[in-house]
Amino acid sequence: MLEFLQDRFSAGLTLSTLKVYVAAIAAFHAPLGDGPLGRQQLVVRFLHGARRMRPAARTRVPTWDLAVVLEGLVEAPFEHLESAEAKNLSLKVAFLLAITSLRRVGGLQALSLSHGCLEFAPGDIRAILHPRPGYLPKVPSNVARPVVLQAFHPPPHEKRDFIGSAPSELSESRFRGPLRGGSRTSCC
């Protein structure tokens, strides 16, 4: 058995794979001497040696750099807001919402822009996204809470907007459309 394990180790298999082999062989092999095959002194020593010779590689840093990603979000095709496509703006908002809210994917998917699930605070100083009714979180002890998005520049804007138009010239439907629903009644 040790020759087989050595052959597999030399072929580049990891320690965890070797342990699976030992467990599989031990399941179908009669115990030797005073214990199961996986507890034999030579097998245990071999596995310890394999761990020392080829330690598990653990990535201690993220595989992506948040600063680089955020820098990319302030360039084309995500900016300027007035010329960016709706798809790119949606991707940007979804990404920023995901990294700032620390929600699970299911919790983000449960959020809805339907009438009644999107609520604007008086003065448009914040938007509140409520989860769809019937949404059950993956972890039952977690309560499905709304996501509150604070406005960066709450109205009224006295100076001209960054795109060169006075606030009264801007089309409200460009930003809100049918979503501006007033009070929250029921989500769908």
Contact 161, 170 (CB under 8 A): yes
Q: Which domain holds residue 73?
A: 62-102
Contacts of 71 (CB under 8 A, 6+ apart): none
Same-domain check for residues 67 and 28: no
pLDDT of residue 1: 83
pLDDT value for 186:
43
pLDDT below 50 — which residues of the chain? 159-188
pLDDT at 181: 41
Looking at the fold, whether 66 and 45 belong to one and the same domain comes out as no
Question: Measured in Å, how far apart are the chain's first and last C-alpha atoms?
Answer: 62
Quick one: 187 and 145 in the same domain? yes
Do residues 21 and 86 share a domain?
no
φ, ψ of residue 174 in degrees (nearest 5): -60, -35
Put the strands of the sheet holding 118-120 in their side by side order.
118-120, 126-129, 147-150
Q: What is the pLDDT of residues 160-169, one digit of tens each?
A: 444 444 444 4
Q: Is 9 exposed, middle or buried (0-12, 13-18, 19+ CB in 10 A)?
A: buried
Q: Do 97 and 114 fall within a single domain?
A: no
Q: Are residues 114 and 142 in the same domain?
A: yes
How is residue 37 written in tokens? 């095959």
Q: pLDDT tens digit string along 137-158?
A: 888 777 778 888 888 765 555 5
Structure tokens at 120: 């604007």
Domain count, the chain: 3
Same domain? 116 vs 186: yes
| pLDDT value of residue 151 | 80
